[in-house]
Amino acid sequence: MAEKGLRDFFLAEAEEHLVVLEKGFLELEKNPSELSGIQELFRAAHSLKGSAALVKLDTTSKVAHNLEDVLESIRDGNTSVTGPVIDWLLHTLDAIKLLISEITLGNPEIIEIAAEVEESLKEILPGEETAKSISVKEKKAVPEKRQVPRRREDIEVLSNYVRVHVDNIEQMMNLVGELTILKNYLLSETGGILDLKDEIDYAGSRLIKEIDDFSSKYAYSIPDKITYVDALLEDFRELEFDRYDELNLFTHKLHEIMDDITEALKDSANFLVRFSDHIRMIDRINMEMRETISRSRMVEAGRLFQRFTRTIRDLAHRSDKKVRFIVSGTETRIDRVIFERLFDPLLHIIRNAISHGIEDPEERVSKGKSKVGRISLAARREGNSVVIDVKDDGRGIDLGAVYRKAVRLGILQKGERLTKVRLLGILFSPGFTTLEETDITSGRGVGLDVVRETIAEMNGRITVATSEGKGTIFRIRLPLTLIIVNTVRFTAGGIEFVVPSSLIQELIEVDVLEYDTEAETVPLRETRVEAKDLCKLLRLNPEGRGSKTHAIVFNLMPGNQVALLVDEITGQEETVIKPLGKFLEGMKYYSGVSISAGGRLMPVLNPVALLEQPVETEFLQPEIGEPERKQNILIVDDSLSIRKFVSIILQQKGYMVYTASNGMEALAVIDEHPVDLIITDLEMPVMHGYELLRELRRKGLSETIPVVILTSRGSEKHKEKAASLGAKEYLVKPFEEALLLETVRGQLKTPQFR
């Protein structure tokens, strides 16, 4: 077990040494006379040898020792850097890589390699007896005259760095994620409590006003009628003793109680202000913590780019082209997970660039270009994203060829006109490759569609720009980290989903009448874009859509926008996305699950899969009859408790409830949502119940939406007025729960025009 742990450390360390060596060897190849870096290479080989021996990987250690010897010989000027020497160095490096990859897989070392390397050593260091001397030395494992200084170096390094396993960082990140969820929850709760405080304040001020009105109205009339029964006070004249009648005492008491409430509210408000300040502080710290932790699991883009140096050299060599590889922004840090998954897409693009983009040297010269083509990889950070550009200065993408091929494949109609961006977008369509035959360099039967999919899985986007004769740029935009993601929440058919913001171009409001169900398009500024109804795609029944609904516009393929119609956009938040797990990993329409502030689960929609891959029939649910649409009731009352109370009664019976505190708010709700029934109070600030009835009639809604009055005014005069304005029923507070429900049921039973 201990040795296994040590090996893991060794493997992590070895990777670093190999990167140093590979980079160094390639530099050496470019500049054989530049030997300033040789000491570093020597040290890398030396450390590799020592560490390998320590974990009993003797073959690796032996090969590293050979490498060390050659480097030492170069450093001391005994061997000069020639082509064969470079080749030997690279080959030996490959040998070590092979050994290490086997060890990583848990296999034993391939011991034959040591002999092969030693054999090949003779070709570049003839006449020396290195081979023999090594085998003798090696028996004693790690000997060393250099041991003492090396140790000191190690200590210096260790004092500042600790190795941490990626899993540990992952766990920390998950914990930060949990904190984020909790923090979001607390934030949303305090918001609610502050609202509640406002409500109580408002209710209190109404109470005071009522009391004052009441007492001022009766203050003058009452004293005359009252005969004082208190024998003790009979002797006083009125101005001599401040005598309180019962009413005065009562209002005085109410004032006192209200003062107490106000005081307590003030205290609790102060507490809440401090409390939310603290939560905001937690929020900041949490964010910083996340940044710091995610930084620690980030890797410099340069290390990723480095891995292409050899590939480009080999590919260029094989296709007889001359290519110079340029990197920039190597210090830009990217998430380790992205780092690992980005290699294949980048490799694909680079392969394409070499085989299709960069011209033969002669062709380049004839075009007046430099004989050597250029491929550059550049990384930079933009806000919460990382942008990576892959650029070549080759012949550019032949748009005509793309067009012809698209027509041949049936993607485009002959003569169809479309923008350049849109045409380039076709390159990412499944099964599209411009070169008919696959060749060793670029083709593997996979096209740019796979590249785009891989990037989309990481919530990223890819775009391309090209200029004929000048070159092509592929731009990849990715989020900084994959665990905590900014998402947009929305509902469809009563289910709440989220989708990563990085995939979204914009959120729009859509007039339902503007949605062309035949052509499946919606208007977007001057044009119309393709639009799919999510409820239809997911076989759900839309809920809560009024005359307007919402749509999320995605730009999944460059130049090709698709809008997804949803029921309602419910919010935006930073959330933790967890994978669905092995049982459900085949559900490609979801990329994971998100946990909301209240601990609710929300599936993360994968728009790429949903919008582009046809829904397989085997996944289809058997239709189990049309589920009943919930009926929507709007409760209008300025009293919070009445709104709450009635809501609870109705929700328990399965109705969907909206609330408004006056007529004006009620009209706004009706504009936004389909309402089947209104229950309203008469006396309300801003717009009272009669006005609301009049407005509904003016809008021609009185016939379609029945209105039930729920008021404390019981007089016939009030009733008649309401009826004359179109109210269907009249209930007087306090009311019976059963009567309310019966009235609601009765009103909803009459068929409605919708």
Partner 1 sequence: MVEDIENSDTPEEEYATPELKACIFSVGGQEFSVDMGYLKGIAELSAIVPLPLSPSYIEGITSLRGVAVPVVNLATLKDIQEEKAAERWLIVLEVERTLFGITVNEMPDLVADYRGELIDVPDFFETYRLR
CB of 557 to partner 1, least distance (A): 22
**What number of chain residues touch partner 1 (CB under 8 A)?**
31
| Residues paired with residue 104 on neighbouring β-strands, in sequence order | none
CB of 594 to partner 1, least distance (A): 9
Cα atoms in the 13 Å half-sphere on the side-chain side of 45: 28
CB of 593 to partner 1, least distance (A): 4
Judged by CB under 8 A, the chain residues 128 through 187 that form the site for partner 1 are: 178
Among 111, 365, 401, 601, binds partner 1 (CB under 8 A): 601
Nearer to partner 1, 118 or 496 (CB): 496
Q: How far is Cα 316 from Cα 325, in angstroms, rounded to an integer?
A: 10
Binding segment for partner 1 (CB under 8 A), chosen from 25-33, 281-289, 619-627, 741-749, is 619-627
CB of 656 to partner 1, least distance (A): 17
CA dist list (Å): 609 to 124, 411, 457, 605 = 55, 18, 10, 9
| Token pair in block for residue 711 | 């008021």
| Token pair in block for residue 255 | 């004032």
Among 161, 220, 583, 753, binds partner 1 (CB under 8 A): 583
The CB density around residue 662, as the number of other CB atoms within 10 Å, is 20
Among 599, 614, 625, 751, binds partner 1 (CB under 8 A): 599
Q: How far is Cα 355 from Cα 183, in angstroms, rounded to an integer?
A: 51
Binding segment for partner 1 (CB under 8 A), chosen from 124-132, 324-332, 454-462, 613-621, is 613-621
Answer left, alpha or beta for residue 631, where phi above 0 means left and psi between -120 and 50 means alpha.
beta
CB of 644 to partner 1, least distance (A): 22
Q: How far is Cα 250 from Cα 244, in angstroms, rounded to an integer?
A: 9
Residue 614 is a binding residue for partner 1 (CB under 8 A)? no
CA dist list (Å): 327 to 41, 318, 331, 375 = 21, 22, 10, 9
Nearer to partner 1, 311 or 541 (CB): 541
Nearer to partner 1, 179 or 347 (CB): 179
User: Could you tell me if 539 and 498 are in contact, meaning their C-beta atoms sit under 8 angstroms apart?
Assistant: no
- With CA atoms as reference, report the closest residue to 440 among 308, 307, 314: 314
Q: How far is Cα 470 from Cα 468, in angstroms, rounded to an integer?
A: 5
CB of 483 to partner 1, least distance (A): 14
Nearer to partner 1, 21 or 498 (CB): 498
Among 622, 625, 700, 751, binds partner 1 (CB under 8 A): 622
Judged by CB under 8 A, the chain residues 523 through 582 that form the site for partner 1 are: 538-540, 578, 580-582
Helix (H) / strand (E) containing 267: helix 246-296
Nearer to partner 1, 250 or 590 (CB): 590
Nearer to partner 1, 126 or 586 (CB): 586
| Token pair in block for residue 716 | 């016939």
Among 194, 450, 593, 701, binds partner 1 (CB under 8 A): 593
Nearer to partner 1, 103 or 608 (CB): 608
Among 64, 89, 172, 602, binds partner 1 (CB under 8 A): 602
366-378 burial, b for 16+ CB within 10 Å, e for fewer?
eeebeeebbbbbb
Residues near 435 by beta carbon (within 8 Å), at least 6 away in sequence: 355, 356, 442, 443
Binding segment for partner 1 (CB under 8 A), chosen from 151-159, 323-331, 500-508, 611-619, is 611-619
Q: How far is Cα 643 from Cα 240, in angstroms, rounded to an integer?
A: 49
Interface pattern 209-248 for partner 1 (x via CB under 8 A): ----------------------------------------
Nearer to partner 1, 232 or 624 (CB): 624
Nearer to partner 1, 265 or 538 (CB): 538
The CB density around residue 444, as the number of other CB atoms within 10 Å, is 12
Q: How far is Cα 268 from Cα 559, in angstroms, rounded to an integer?
A: 54
CB of 18 to partner 1, least distance (A): 32
The angle that helices 301-318 and 336-352 make with each other, rounded to 10 degrees, is 20
Q: How far is Cα 476 from Cα 343, in angstroms, rounded to an integer?
A: 12
Q: How far is Cα 109 from Cα 277, in angstroms, rounded to an integer?
A: 59
DSSP β-ladder status, 484-492 and 568-578: antiparallel
CB of 371 to partner 1, least distance (A): 51
- With CA atoms as reference, report the closest residue to 569 among 521, 670, 497: 497
CB of 499 to partner 1, least distance (A): 14
Among 36, 227, 413, 621, binds partner 1 (CB under 8 A): 621
The CB density around residue 85, as the number of other CB atoms within 10 Å, is 21
Judged by CB under 8 A, the chain residues 476 through 505 that form the site for partner 1 are: 493, 495-496
φ/ψ (deg, to 5) at 491: -115, 150
Q: How far is Cα 448 from Cα 291, in angstroms, rounded to an integer?
A: 32
CB of 547 to partner 1, least distance (A): 25
CB of 282 to partner 1, least distance (A): 19
Residue 600 is a binding residue for partner 1 (CB under 8 A)? yes
Nearer to partner 1, 211 or 580 (CB): 580
Residue 586 is a binding residue for partner 1 (CB under 8 A)? yes
Residue corresponding to tokens 């390639």:
26
CB of 540 to partner 1, least distance (A): 6
CB of 490 to partner 1, least distance (A): 14
Residues that bind partner 1 (CB under 8 A): 178, 493, 495-496, 538-540, 578, 580-587, 589-590, 593, 595, 599-603, 615, 618-622
